[in-house]
Amino acid sequence: MTTVSQIEDSEFDILLESEPIFVIDFTAPWCGPCRKISALIEQLAEAYQGRVKVLKIDIDKNKVNARKYGVKSIPAVLIFKGGEVVENIVGVVPYEDYTTAVEKHI
């Protein structure tokens, strides 16, 4: 099983420049709903392995990008394409919502 990597704020700009499309799960260890979607994010990473990078960022340790992209409540799953946010899914949603959002942009 794929384990979704955690990234730091410092790695974010590199991603924006190097990845044509990627998914970031803005999360925190204390967040119950975040834990609830964690398996869905893992499933997404596995389903799109080699096509779309799926990552997590801990908003407690990495506040810069959470602020920059207006993340007010978590879980917040943002999909980036060409360096821009193209989808913003907040809260606990069905797996299909994630796949539908990703499919629109690949």
Q: Which residues are catalytic?
A: 31, 34
Report which of 6, 14, 12 is spatially closest to residue 58, judged by C-alpha positions.
6
Integer angstrom CA distances of residue 93 from 30, 54, 60, 67, 68: 19, 17, 22, 22, 23
Q: How many Å is the Cα radius of gyration of the chain?
A: 12
Orientation of helix 32-47 relative to helix 95-103, angle to 10°: 50
